Structure 1
Amino acid sequence: MPRNKNGVSRRNVLKVTGGATAGLAVTGFANAKPSDRVRVNIGYTGESGRRAALDAASVVHHDFSFDAVTLEVPKRAITALEQRSEVRYVEEDGTMHAYAQTLPWGVDRVDADAAHDSGYTGSGADIAIIDTGIDASHPDLDNNLGSGTSYVGSSWDDDNGHGTHCAGIAAAEDNGQGVVGVAPEATLHAVKVLNSNGSGSYSDIAAGVEYVANQGWDVGSMSLGGSSGSSALKDAVSYAYDNGVFLATAAGNSGPCSNCVGYPAVYSECVAISSTNDSDGLSYFSSTGPEVELAAPGSSIYSTYYGDSYDTLSGTSMACPHVAGAAGILMGQLGYSNTGARSRLNNTAENLGLSSNQQGNGLLDVYSAI
């Protein structure tokens, strides 16, 4: 919006100042009817400008220390005020509003909001985001952050954005701003195994999975993968699964294709998750195959991002933390084991009419699961 030299928008300024008739009287208006008054901000120069403004006022709301006042004045007084050389501006006292919290379409589609309304928010759950880290200062995540570790540097703070985006999908706070996640009262833990370019070694990822198991956390969310496997990583997911960790994993973004689920999602210990769009179709990029167990929203997902910001991303990476959040609710709040939560999510999934290679047992349905 165009602004004048004082930074005031043209839409709100009643008229740009600059008149030269400094002695024009503005008295005699204070007794105007309430319906004829308007609330304005007036900036002035010197005591004569202040006095001129106050003389026109029916009500004084603010008398600022920075040479401005907020007043109620009769509408007919405005012209006289704005023509005075010692009056810098006269603007209508407009309104601003709090930034509203957004319910992302994916959280809505899997009925997580209905679960929240029934009191199921993931309280008591520990969800590890095995990724690029988490932005520790993000206002939609900071109160839910627990601990973390890094295998690609000294800090688990996010320097890529991907991990923070996934964290918000799983468990962004229900705080009236930004977005809300599937499990908004779960505790998030950052396990940084991918560097600022989004890449990491098999061994670092295996170490991260082992770390999650050794901490006794409920869920490990892995929005990562590759086209070939690793014995060390297979051993790590087996170790974690045997120690009670629910492993949510992205199926991969190799679509359109068939039988192309990536690693580690192909491992039997992992829940492979495909991606859907807002029309309940398979996302064009989603990998498919017999290993797919569940589908979840992954196209154009709005969530938290590093640098205390928000962004819209697409991928099975975005589908994965929807399931991670749901598993957190079942395990942390309802006492399910990792195997019990897995069975429950599969048994309550919504059939979208897609093939089993595309949707597995169906679309995640959080409310039905609880």
Structure 2
Amino acid sequence: MFDNDNGVLRRNVLKTVGGSVATVGATGLAGADPGDTVEVNVGFSSERGRQQALDAASDVVRVFNSLDIVTAKMPKQAATALEQNPNIRYVEENGTMEALAQTLPWGIDRVDAEVAHANGETGKGADIAIIDTGIDSDHPDLKNNLGKGKAFVSCGNGGFTGNCRFYGNNNTCRKPWDDDNDHGTHCAGIADARDNSKGVVGVSTKATLHAVKVLDCAGSGTYSDIAAGIEYTANQGWDVGSMSLGGDSGSQALQDAVEYAQNNGVLLVAAAGNAGPCTDCVKYPAKYAEVMAVSSTNDNDNLSDFSSQGPEIEIAAPGSNIYSTVPGGYDTFSGTSMACPHVAGAGGQLMANGYDNAGARSQLKQTAESINLSANESGSGLLDAAAALGLDSSDST
């Protein structure tokens, strides 16, 4: 469970998804008997299809606000019947994705974010959603940057017992979207920790962070949870969605959500995955064309040996041995999970300056630094936050 290129603990190593349903008493779709209860995402094409999906449900888990999707529990035979219904676009098992593994703000220096800070580029005015395990609502490096939050999974009630973080004397979370895992807070600090002369500093420093909690304390969330978090981010009109999560299998519901968010102006950035060394193993949702896939480098500008590679990679960023915030303090993690929020923070800076999501994505790639890695490994190159903002790396005073 603990492994990376430099011996630092990488928690919540990426797990294969698609073979289990994260609901007690529900059975995986493929192996279920006709009468077994399964949890599925149903994409419908008409109001009649929506009602037919609801009628088939023994328990409705979620009805999306803007997407034509219902998540429900039902007998397998009912799900199979819906697959043949002309009013239904798809029926898929509501599988799970996991927080991609974790690791000094050497990365902030390497992408020249401190040059941006010295020139007044703080990301103020941008909204960055951390779509993850939540954010510590009381961390001194983050709390002044926190905006809204929303939880799509329960805080303090995750997939394993005894390892959730609890807040207060009554073992309850301060906010529904608090981080009971570490992962989301670590990513939030990389993207946007305050420049307050203590702790760490982020790529952006004054953007507004929003905690969109789609992963529980075990670092696990269903396709539906994650899709709902992406839909919520888009409906809030926020600029950037940072997703340090993924899995081996795609989901039509998830793809619907990323298409919706991209079409509604969100710059979606995702960790490529930690399946390396490999040549074609980028995880979902990073694999989707609407999402900017980020690989990981170490402090020698080499590809981190855990980093996934593939033709979907658009940019690389520091991901090995990254020091950042965790609930109650700081820690060092490694993973493409750490690379992703470097790019999200830089994207926030650009969008604070008036770029739209497509323009920011293009500018990040056009100004990336060549570090002699193949396109399969680093896409356009290594993130250069200063260059993206039109600054020279010597402009630090």
Do they fold alike, i.e. is TM over 0.5? yes
Once the 2 structures are TM-superposed, how far is the Cα of residue 216 of structure 1 from its aligned partner? Answer: 0.2
Secondary structure at the counterpart of residue 209 of structure 2: strand
Equivalence for 1:260:
281
The number of residue pairs the alignment matches comes to: 266
Residue 127 (structure 1) shift: 0.2
**2:94 equivalent in structure 1:** none
Read off the aligned partner of 1:244 and give its amino acid letter: G
1:118 Cα deviation from its structure 2 partner: 0.7
Aligned to 1:356: 375
C-alpha distance in 2, partners of 1:124/1:133?
21
Name the structure 2 match of 1:214: 235
Alignment of 1:121 with 2:122, yes or no, is yes
Of 190, 195, 199, which residue of structure 2 is paired with 1:174?
A: 195
Match of 1:317 in 2: 337
Alignment of 1:30-109 (within 5 A): 104-109=105-110
Return the offset for 1:195. 0.3
2:218 corresponds in structure 1 to: 197
Larger radius of gyration: 1
Name the counterpart of 1:366: 385
Q: Indicate the residue corresponding to 1:44 in structure 2.
A: none
Distance 1:121 1:113 in 2: 10
Q: Which residue of 2 aligns with 1:289?
A: 310
Aligned-residue CA RMSD in angstroms? 0.7
Secondary structure of 1:159's partner?
coil
| CA shift for structure 1 position 121 | 0.7
Structure 2 equivalent of residue 15 of structure 1: none
For residues 157-184 of structure 1, the C-alpha deviation after alignment (integer angstroms, 9 at most, x for no partner) is: 0000000000000000000100000000
Query: Could you tell me how far apart the structure 2 residues matched to 1:344 and 1:350 are?
Result: 12
Q: 2:10 matched to which residue of 1? A: none
Which residue in 2 is equivalent to 1:71?
none
Partner of 2:112: 111
Partner of 1:358, secondary structure, is: helix
Q: Offset at 1:156?
A: 0.2
1:69-99 residue CA offsets vs partner (Å, 9 max, x unmatched) = xxxxxxxxxxxxxxxxxxxxxxxxxxxxxxx
SS of 2:283's equivalent?
coil
> How far is the alpha carbon of 1:153 from its aligned partner?
1.6
- Percent sequence identity is 70
Residue among 347, 356, 378 paired with 1:337: 356
How far apart, CA to CA, are the structure 1 residues paired with 2:196 and 2:310? 38
* In structure 1, distance between residues paired with 2:319 and 2:313: 14
Q: Report the equivalent of 2:346.
A: 326
Using CA pairs under 8 Å that are at least 6 residues apart, name the structure with larger relative contact order, 1 or 2: 2
Query: 2:366 maps to which residue?
Result: 347
Q: SS in structure 2 opposite 1:200? A: strand
d(CA) in 2 for partners of 1:196 and 1:287? 24
Q: Secondary structure at the match of 1:147?
A: strand
Q: Distance in 1 between the 2:256 and 2:299 partners?
A: 36
Shift of 1:105: 0.3
Unaligned stretches of 5+ residues in structure 2: 1-103, 156-175, 390-397
Q: Hey, what's the Cα distance between the residues in 2 that align with 1:184 and 1:227?
A: 33
Corresponding residue for residue 255 of structure 2: 234
Partner of 2:178: 157
Distance 1:258 1:312 in 2: 27
Tell me what 2:5 maps to: none
Supply the distance in 1 between the matched residues of 2:224 and 2:206 (Cα, whole angstroms).
31
Give the residue type in structure 1 aligned to 2:358.
T
The aligned amino acid for 2:373 is L
Amino acid paired to 1:163 = G
Partner of 2:137: 136
Q: Find out whether 1:272 has 2:273 as its counterpart.
A: no
Q: Deviations over 1:285-321 (max 9, x none)?
A: 0000000000000000000001x21000000000000
SS at match of 1:330: helix
Q: Secondary structure at the match of 1:346?
A: helix
Rounded Cα–Cα distance in structure 2 between residues aligned with 1:325 and 1:303: 14
Q: Secondary structure of the residue that 1:340 maps to in structure 2?
A: helix
- State the alpha-carbon separation in 2 of the partners of residues 124 and 151 from structure 1: 26
What letter corresponds to residue 193 of structure 1 in structure 2? V
